[in-house]
A and B are shown apart, each in its own frame.
Chain A
Amino acid sequence: MSVPLSQMWTVASYVLRQRLTGRRRYPLVLMLEPLFRCNLACAGCGKIQYPGQILRKNLTVEQCLTAVDECGAPIVSIPGGEPLMYPDIGRLVKELVARKKYVYLCTNAILLKEKLEAGLFTPSKYLSFSIHMDGLREEHDEAVCKDGVYDVAVAGIREALRRGYRVTTNTTLFEGANPERVRLFFDAMMDLGVEGMMVSPGYSYSKAPDQEHFLRKQRAHDLFSRILSSPKRRWRFNQSPLFLQFLMGKRDYECTPWGNPTYNVFGWQRPCYLLQEGYARTFQDLMTGTRWERYGKRSGNDKCRDCMVHCGFEATAVQETFGSWRGFRDTVVSTVTGRA
């Protein structure tokens, strides 16, 4: 695991505090979407297909900060849309860092070099650029439906690292991914010098147009086993090793849909980052007004049946790590031995 100790400590103490106070449901990562606009048009993305007046909307920084304060999660992930197209991204990140939130700015990196050169950000242990990379050049450019993006992203990664920023990658694997190519991709990212990698199977948004292209559970276990069963020592993952074991089918987890609550121009998204079944006006309303029993594998909800995406299950893994001696022991053993 490549997560810095200070971040691990922050998350561990947060989880323990929640447990000690008897809070049954609590968020770990706020998914903050200040806009839906993007400079790519990936076919698998339902976020960019809104009509023009919605794509032109931005949350204000004040709306973002109110959401952050309401939610209270120690980690804030900023996806979108493309967050580097958000006009106030520099100010937003500065405010979040001042609040000692660990920020993952999820970007396709097309604008990264330009924004770094413009002096929009300052290196901090609280700020990590999480670069969307879905594989080596051929696979990534195909996933984002545009040639040349891989090379631009690599240039952005190099520039961010040169300037002393934390840089991680986030990778979504789709059906048909070649395990050997994925392993080569992990090597390539480590060669670049990124701090760690995040990997997850894709999910079909209910509104996405290509549901059958996403992984089904059994095929996903098989794929991740082939990728991760003999991990190289130099591979570093910016996520829980227990989640990686879950992906390989070694653990059976239930989803924690409230673990990564999502706030965007429509409000607090019910019930999770992936499903859009409505919006709540406040975080409190999201937590108390959502019929959580309708979601997760045990609910029998078809939309949840095959889901293994990190935004639902990483929170479960983290809670096991910091909520049980066995989970903590397994995490330590996996981290020390490097075995997934």
Chain B
Amino acid sequence: MESEKSLEGWTPEPHEGLPLARIVDLAFDYRGNTTVILRDGAKLHGYVSNRDAEAAAPYLEMFDAEGEGPHRLAYGDIRTIHFTGKDTAAGKSYAAWLVRKQTERAAQAADAPPS
């Protein structure tokens, strides 16, 4: 089963073992909103929808909190990304639903009158 561990609340800073490109990849895979912090201190809150680390000038694209975008940001202008938004995929696994369903069925069977 895929791990249910979420990056929600994670506030990484890039370092030798964790390059910015890796943080961008994780933000791209993250289903919730993030906060992109630029080198000049500006912050952009929204959803990272695209990135291209192999472009001549690597960039990411994001939709802001109002859904406007995509805004394109060069990796070179980004200091880091914080996973500030709710992880909208967390806790919604098929396995969790099956467990809930089985519990419901067991409760219904226990409540049913004997035939």
Residues of A within 8 A of B28 (CB): 278
CB of A35 to closest CB in B, whole Å: 12
With A51-B88, A57-B67 in contact, do A207 and B50 touch (Cβ < 8 Å)?
no
Q: Tell me, in angstroms, the Cα distance from A12 to B46 when the chains sit together.
A: 45
Q: Assess A53 versus B93: contact at CB under 8 Å? Given A207-B31, A209-B2, A212-B1.
A: no
Count CB-based A-B contacts (< 8 Å): 76
Given A46-B89, A211-B2, A278-B52, do A51 and B96 touch, yes or no (CB 8 Å)?
no
Residue in contact with A209 in the complex, picked from B4, B29, B67, CB distance below 8 Å:
B4
Knowing A145-B97, A279-B49 are in contact, say whether A51-B33 is a contact too (CB < 8 A): yes
Closest residue on chain B to residue A46 by CB atoms: B89
Kindly list chain B residues whose C-beta atoms are within 8 Å of the C-beta of A267. 50
Interface string of A42-80 (1 = CB under 8 A from B): 011010011101101100000000000000000000000
Residues of A in contact, count (CB < 8 Å) = 25
Instruction: With both chains docked as a complex, state the minimum distance between the C-beta of A36 and any C-beta of chain B, in angstroms.
Output: 11
- The answer to whether residues A53 and B65 also contact, given A46-B89, A207-B89 and a CB cut-off of 8 A, is yes
* Smallest CB separation, A212 vs chain B (Å): 5
Most buried by B among A44, A46, A54, A142: A54
Which residue of chain A has the shortest Cβ distance to B64 in the bound complex?
A53
Chain A residues with Cβ below 8 Å from B1 are: 210-212
Q: A51 is contacted by which of B32, B51, B52, B97 (Cβ under 8 Å)?
A: B32
Let me know if B93 and A210 touch, CB within 8 A. Answer: yes
The chain A residue with its CB closest to the CB of B88 is A49
Q: Is B95 part of the binding interface, using a Cβ–Cβ cutoff of 8 Å?
A: yes
**Smallest CB separation, A290 vs chain B (Å):** 11
Indicate if B15 sits at the interface (CB-CB under 8 A): no
* A266, B61: Cα distance in complex, Å: 9
Contact, CB under 8 Å: A41 / B92: yes
Which of A44, A54, A266, A278 is within 8 Å of B94, CB to CB? A44
Minimum CB–CB distance from A285 to chain B (whole Å) comes to 11
State whether B67 touches A54 (Cβ < 8 A). yes
A43 and B67 within 8 A (CB): no
For A278, list chain B residues within 8 Å (CB).
Answer: 28, 50-52
Question: How far apart sit A150 and B28, CA to CA, in the bound complex (Å)?
Answer: 35
The minimal Cβ–Cβ distance linking B4 to chain A, given in whole angstroms, is 7
